[in-house]
Amino acid sequence: MSAYWFTYSWLPGYLHHERNMPIVKSTSWMLITQLGGLIGYSTFGFVSDSTGRRPAYSIYSVVMALGLIMITLLWETIAAYPFVILFFMFIVGFGTGMFGGYGPLFSELFPTNIRSTAMGSAFNLARGIQFFTPVIISVVALKYGLSGGISLAALFAILTGAWIWTFPETKGKKLDVETN
């Protein structure tokens, strides 16, 4: 979730303040990111079904991280080419499609009798930890600017892609299902 919150909470301000985009332009560019997200979320299930969840999470995580690095740390390299920037904005959104697999992944980790409570607790605990996101971004931004702070989302995306491999493989596993 840090990858998501670091990106979507701070990217509009970064485009406006650090990259001097008028708010209307930065909003338009964020819509490109959202379009990428729509397609990423829509395709994650298909990719996951064909490759497995763990490879799909890793692929989407790396895609998100690549886009974030390009639009933050390597902005000056691509700044002369707005189409390239928009492509990487789209890629950032597409990579967030990994979160489309949260429900199926977590529902397979917990037995039926605690599934809802466990999933809700895990999700909301992760959201609660995001309380520290503004603090972390602010501290990093003091020295490295918002681009440095937002680029941390790339690190969290890569960590997600690696962490997923610690989860058990559930492909083809029969789920514990209770019937009334």
How many helices (H) and strands (E) the chain has is answered by 8, 0
Q: Would you say residue 165 has pLDDT above 80? A: yes
Residue of higher predicted confidence among 169 and 143: 143
pLDDT of residue 108: 81
Contact 76, 131 (CB under 8 A): no
User: Which pLDDT does position 179 carry in this prediction?
Assistant: 55
Q: State how far the alpha carbon of 79 is from the alpha carbons of 74, 75, 86, 97, in Å.
A: 9, 6, 10, 26
pLDDT value at 124 more than 80: yes
Average pLDDT rounded to a whole number, residues 77-93: 95
Whole-number Å distance between alpha carbons of 68 and 157: 9
Question: How many whole angstroms separate alpha carbon 161 and alpha carbon 60?
Answer: 8
How confident is the prediction for the chain on average, in pLDDT? 88
Residue 34: pLDDT above 70? yes
Query: What does the pLDDT read at residue 89?
Result: 95
92 closest CA partner among 1, 2, 3: 3
The mean per-residue pLDDT over the stretch 142-171 comes to 88
Query: How many alpha carbons fall within 13 Å on the CB side of residue 115?
Result: 15
For the chain, the domains span 2-165
Lowest mean pLDDT among 28-37, 46-55, 63-72, 161-170: 161-170
| Separation CA 149–CA 26 (nearest Å) | 18
Mean predicted confidence (pLDDT) in 87-106: 91
* Nearest-angstrom CA–CA distance, 77 and 73: 9
Contact by Cβ (8 Å): 98, 64: yes
What percentage of the chain carries pLDDT values higher than 90? 46
Q: Please, which pLDDT band fits residue 1 given cuts at 50, 70 and 90?
A: confident
Q: Which CATH superfamily is domain 2-165 in?
A: MFS general substrate transporter like domains (1.20.1250.20)
Which pLDDT belongs to residue 39? 98
